[in-house]
Amino acid sequence: MAERRPKIIGFCCERHGMDSAVLAARTGKQFDASVRLVQVPCAGRVDGIHILQALEDGADAVFVLGCLEKNCYYDTGSIEARKRVEYVRQMLAEMGIEKERVEMFNAASTNAWAFPEIVAKMVEVAKKLGPIEEGERR
């Protein structure tokens, strides 16, 4: 029987986050292709409800990938995203769900190595924790 592949959702800013993913692919960096990417105009536009909805819809782990905080195209987008991710992590812990399932990362568009490392970390977390039990999702 084949091993279950974890379902991971990555919200990536259209500037540095997606550029890092595209550059990784173009330069032949290996990463788990089952990760589903959602391109957003800015990581700061990812609301906690988006993260929670992804988990409720069956994601085992979710990450937000934004610009470097001091190099954000929209100045404070990555800072706002980090605050929201931390809030969701706190909520999950209070609900008895592992907060490690949600993470915030920052990368420059030229960091081809960053994206595969991020994906590998989230795949490892998702495999270690396994799926969220149905009763926990509500």
In DSSP terms, 36 is beta-bridged to 9
Residue 135's pLDDT is what? Answer: 54
Burial of 77 by CB count in 10 Å (0-12 exposed, 13-18 middle, 19+ buried)?
buried
In the predicted model, what is the mean pLDDT of the chain? 90
**pLDDT exceeds cutoff 60 at 95:** yes
Residue 15's pLDDT is what? Answer: 87
pLDDT tens across 58-74, in order?
A: 999 999 999 988 877 77
Length of the chain, please?
A: 138
Residue 4's pLDDT is what? Answer: 78
How far lies 33's CA from each of 80, 83, 119, 123, in Å? Answer: 28, 28, 9, 11
CATH superfamily, domain 8-133, is: Lumazine/riboflavin synthase (3.40.50.960)
Q: How confident is the model at residue 84 (pLDDT cuts 50, 70, 90)?
A: very high
Q: What is the residue extent of each domain of the chain?
A: 8-133
